Structure 1
Amino acid sequence: MSPLIHTLRALTVAACTLALVAPATVARAEPSPAELTRRIEKSSAELERVVEAHNELREKIKDNRAAVSRLRKQIGPLEQQAAQSRADVGEMAATAYKTGNLGAVDALMHADDPASVLDRLGTLDHLTRQRQASIASYTADQQQLLDQKTRLDVTLSQQAARSKELSTTKQRIERDLAKLYEMRRQAYGRATERPASRANSADDAPAVSGQAGAAVRYAYGALGKPYAWGQDGPNGYDCSGLTSAAWRAAGKQLPHNTKMQWGVVSHISRSQLRPGDLVFYRSLGHVAIYVGDGQVIHAPTFGRNVEKRSVDLMPPYGYGRVR
């Protein structure tokens, strides 16, 4: 066999060996626009649930702060009341020590006549009842003060735990939001929608009377403003932030959380819907305000702007009327 043939065979074997041992390079296709959109919608829905949990924590922290303030205001007078009771009992004890107790035997032995005996016994009974009442009042005041201080300690402990959880949740949202915005850049060329023209949009609101009309006009005025998680205006909103801001403009206070809003509204049927009512979605993960003619205004999700859509933009969970 010629040297040329030996060389060719050696090269062939070497090439086959390299093909077997070399790591395979897998060609990865970029996700299609449709696949990116699906991922964005799924991530947005999941992240919105986290945002609403964050909003619920903030509402509970606000309630806790109000409870702490109330308890501290109550504890001040209770401390004064308990101190006064303590002083009264202390004075009573000191007097008894200095003068000796008035006893029934003493009343009988030093009496000049039967009428005096009855008077002394009556006085004894009155003083005994007074002392018992003072001691009972002292005990009750001390216990009430102790109970209020215990409630305050528990409330402050809850506050600290919720504040820590709030910080953790916020970090998660910001981390996941960065990933979501990167997906939006890949799919749409930018992380957020362009600001929409919203000049005089409140003037486009239908004529609705009363507080509901004020809420609807506010919602129209928010059209085109960006979704901003945890915000209730005036420059951006998340879903429950928009509905709470709209009704705040109408003089009603709603918690900045979808689930809590569901808990304070009157539940109605779809046939009863009228402008100003709230429409809930995604098992209380999203909320919009009904503006009439089968339309709602809502803050949709991250990277999007406040918009007007059909009430059936997704399957409704339920309907509520602000009380």
Structure 2
Amino acid sequence: MSSPHGRGRRAAARLLAPAGALTIALLGFGAPAHAAPSAAELRKQITQKSDQLEKVVEQYNKLNTQLKETRAEAAALERELGPLEVKADQAKGNVARIASTAYRTGSFSGLNALLDSSGDGRLLARLSALDQLATSQRAQIDEAHRAAGDRFEVKAALDARLQEQTTRFTAVETQRKGIERDLAKLKELRRQAGLTDEKSSTYTGSIPAYKGKAGVAVAFAYKQLGKPYVWAADGPNGYDCSGLTLAAWRAAGVSLYHQAATQWREVAHISRSQLLPGDLVFYSGLGHVALYVGSGKVIHAPTTGEVVKIASVDMMSPYGYGRVRL
């Protein structure tokens, strides 16, 4: 026979079971796990993704610029190598003729070893044995040494540059593909938020006149208003942030690097109170840059889906201010 206490516990369990089951059911079928983000949340995600993407684009710009520099250096070495090849071949021919003459006249019986066709290396390595030749001949031999050495040095430098170029190209291509994927995600976020790309337009308003190269840079920036943001571009049909500042100052005859962080290292750092039209304003941990145009305003290329526009210098918290060195 069960005790009164046991029967009471079982009865209590039967009474509580439905309530417990109901509680579990309510927890299991609560709010949807993938509720659609609100417009505010989407805009926050867009801003975050834009900021992240801009930093990646700026890294790409630096890598891409370095690749262009490497290619230019390789091309210069290639041009330099051509005449050196001709000079070395001519010097080699002169030495061969000297050796042949010496052999025929019997002035040096060991010259037949110098005439083998195994290449420059063996031939030039044995040239020091030609002590019996005339001074003029020795001069030609010394020139052959120098020509072969010059050719070797330039060829080695060219090979190293070409290897570096290959490495940089691979890195640039990998990053470019990653950026394209991130852009697709950003565009999808914009679509979900109901945002459409801003339409390109041509600026027809007034342009403030400032003197000197800074005035040229400012005038150029005004003329780009309404052109689309295009990542890694420095014009003429679109720009990213550092591409715009680069192009503005390029119009004034001043060269800047295509990356905000490097532009920060190129300019003279100034205070907010020293800002003048043409100065650069940096933002987002050196991930964004704009051109100051006076009256507390900057012109900048914001992000994907937007166009070059005028904004307050305080559109974001400035990182710092810089004056382009002339």
Same fold, judged at TM 0.5 (above): yes
Query: Do residues 130 (structure 1) and 136 (structure 2) align?
Result: yes
Using a 3 Å threshold, how does the CA distance of structure 1 residues 15 and 261 change in structure 2: closer, same or farther? Answer: same
Query: Do residues 236 (structure 1) and 238 (structure 2) align?
Result: yes
Shift of 1:241: 1.3
Is residue 203–residue 225 contact of structure 2 (8 Å, CA) maintained in 1? Answer: no
Q: Identity over the aligned pairs, expressed in percent?
A: 47
Query: Do residues 24 (structure 1) and 28 (structure 2) align?
Result: yes
- Alignment partner, residue 153 of structure 2: 147
Using a 3 Å threshold, how does the CA distance of structure 1 residues 267 and 94 change in structure 2: closer, same or farther? Answer: farther
Aligned residues: 290
The Cα RMSD (Å) is 3.1
Is residue 278–residue 323 contact of structure 2 (8 Å, CA) maintained in 1? Answer: no
Is residue 232–residue 242 contact of structure 1 (8 Å, CA) maintained in 2? Answer: yes
**Match for residue 181 of structure 2 among 167, 175, 183:** 175
Corresponding residue SS for 1:283 = helix
For the residues of structure 2 that align with 1:96 and 1:268, how far apart are their CA atoms? 73
Query: Do residues 57 (structure 1) and 60 (structure 2) align?
Result: no
Corresponding residue SS for 2:225 = coil
- Alignment partner, residue 121 of structure 1: none
Is residue 229–residue 308 contact of structure 2 (8 Å, CA) maintained in 1? Answer: yes
- TM score, norm. by length of structure 1: 0.78
Query: Do residues 317 (structure 1) and 323 (structure 2) align?
Result: no
Structure 1 ranges of 4+ moved more than 6 A: 12-19
Shift of 1:197: 5.6
**Match for residue 172 of structure 2 among 156, 166, 191:** 166
Counterparts of residues 64-103 of structure 1 (less than 5 Å): 64-101=70-107
- TM score, norm. by length of structure 2: 0.78
Over residues 235-261 of structure 1, what are the superposed CA-to-partner deviations in whole Å (9 max), with x where a residue is unaligned? 321101111222232233333222333
Query: Do residues 190 (structure 1) and 195 (structure 2) align?
Result: yes
Using a 3 Å threshold, how does the CA distance of structure 1 residues 26 and 63 change in structure 2: closer, same or farther? Answer: farther
**Match for residue 204 of structure 2 among 194, 200, 207:** 200
For the residues of structure 2 that align with 1:134 and 1:89, how far apart are their CA atoms? 7
Corresponding residue SS for 1:195 = coil
For the residues of structure 1 that align with 2:200 and 2:90, how far apart are their CA atoms? 66
Is residue 79–residue 145 contact of structure 1 (8 Å, CA) maintained in 2? Answer: yes
Q: Where do 5+ consecutive residues of structure 2 fail to align? A: 1-13, 109-130
For the residues of structure 2 that align with 1:34 and 1:259, how far apart are their CA atoms? 31
Shift of 1:13: 7.2
Q: Where do 5+ consecutive residues of structure 1 fail to align? A: 1-9, 103-124
Shift of 1:40: 1.7
